[in-house]
Amino acid sequence: MNNQRAWTIAVAAALVILLAAVCLTFTVNEGEQAVVYTFGGIREGGVKKIPGAYFRLPPGIERVEKVDTRLRALEIKNTEIVTTRDQNHIYLTLAMAWRVNDAEKYLRRMANDAGWRSEANAANMLSSLARGARQTVVSSFALTDLVSDRPEQAATFAQVETALLRQIQSDLQKSDYGIAVDKVFITRLALPKDTIKEINARMIKERQTHSERNVTAGKEEAKKIVSRANLEKQNLLSEATAKARQIKGEGDAAAAEFYQEFKQNPQLAIFLRRLDALEAILKNKATVALPVDNPLGGIIEAAPTGP
């Protein structure tokens, strides 16, 4: 009987100790911060940021509120038109990675009417800051900085995202919400129908202007090529004419020498002329009859002998 009573007392004591441990301690996990409220207010050292187990007073005296400090994603829809530097209208969808970096400030600034943390309030606040930053930043960039087939366009996109991040971080520091934004992304860019029509018309006009400019340049280049060809032709003809005159002059000079020889010996000249005539006749198949006593004295007969 005494053993059973002792066992009961031991079990009851263990339960009391366990209940006290549950009621008088709390644990902060990795990626969390805890705020301890004593009689509704935060005592000194009441914000616990380091993971581990902590002592607390019984409920009714102290209350512990935990805040998740891990990164969260938030998308800001493109429901509002923003204007670029060159007065084009676009829709821009943003996404951001944000986290709580000070649980006390976050709970104080983001509490709802019931006095509890409201993540929806934080999302609304961040969306409002992002929309303001979106209009401010985009107005300093042209549409061609955001929509282009140039290889460097990706760098421009990164510049826009960096400018958005800095603007939002600056606004957060001024208001001190206990929230940090680590990254801002542009997830989608869209154009209103009127803007699309205007851009298409502008692109068509630019292409036409470019085409006309190329045609004009091509015609000018063709004229230059024809002019150069005509000039080269005239130069070649002039050179050929001069060369022909030179050759003719050289031939006339050589012939004059032969003419002098022929004047001294007319029979030799006649003999050579007859040899030339005979050579011309013998180019084709022919039968030639010559006098026996003077073979080259005269051509008696020359007749073709075949095809």
Residue ranges per structural domain of the chain: 2-68, 72-191, 195-264, 265-304
Q: 15-24, 29-38, 137-146, 245-254 — which is least confidently predicted?
A: 15-24
Query: Which residues are registered as beta bridge partners of 181?
Result: 98
pLDDT greater than 90 at residue 167: yes
Backbone angles phi, psi at 259, to 5 degrees: -60, -35
pLDDT surpasses 60 at 297: no
The reported pLDDT for the residue numbered 28 is 81
Q: Which of 18-22, 75-79, 110-114, 158-162 has the highest mean pLDDT?
A: 158-162
More confident: 194 or 154? 194
Q: How confident is the model at residue 22 (pLDDT cuts 50, 70, 90)?
A: low
Fold of 72-191: Tetrahydropterin Synthase; Chain A (3.30.479)
Contacts of 83 (CB under 8 A, 6+ apart): 89, 90, 135, 138, 139
To which residue do tokens 């066992």 refer? 7
User: Which of 90-99, 115-124, 244-253, 270-279 has the least mean pLDDT?
Assistant: 270-279
What's the pLDDT score for residue 183? Answer: 94
Q: How confident is the model at residue 15 (pLDDT cuts 50, 70, 90)?
A: low
pTM: 0.55
Report the pLDDT value the prediction gives residue 34, as an integer from 0 to 100.
84
Alpha-carbon distance of 180 to 151, in angstroms, equals 32
The two tokens of residue 197 are: 């029509």
Burial of 104 by CB count in 10 Å (0-12 exposed, 13-18 middle, 19+ buried)?
middle
> Is 122 in contact with 73 (CB distance < 8 Å)?
no
Torsion of CA 34, 37, 41, 42, to 10 degrees: -40
**Looking at the predicted structure, is the pLDDT value of residue 268 above 70?**
no
Q: What average pLDDT does the segment 227-250 reach?
A: 82
pLDDT band of 301, cuts 50, 70, 90: very low
Residue 83's alpha-carbon distances to 79, 90, 142, 187, in angstroms, are: 13, 6, 9, 18
Tokens linked to 120: 């929806």
Question: With bands split at pLDDT 50, 70 and 90, how would you rate the model's confidence at 259?
Answer: low
Radius of gyration of the chain (CA): 54
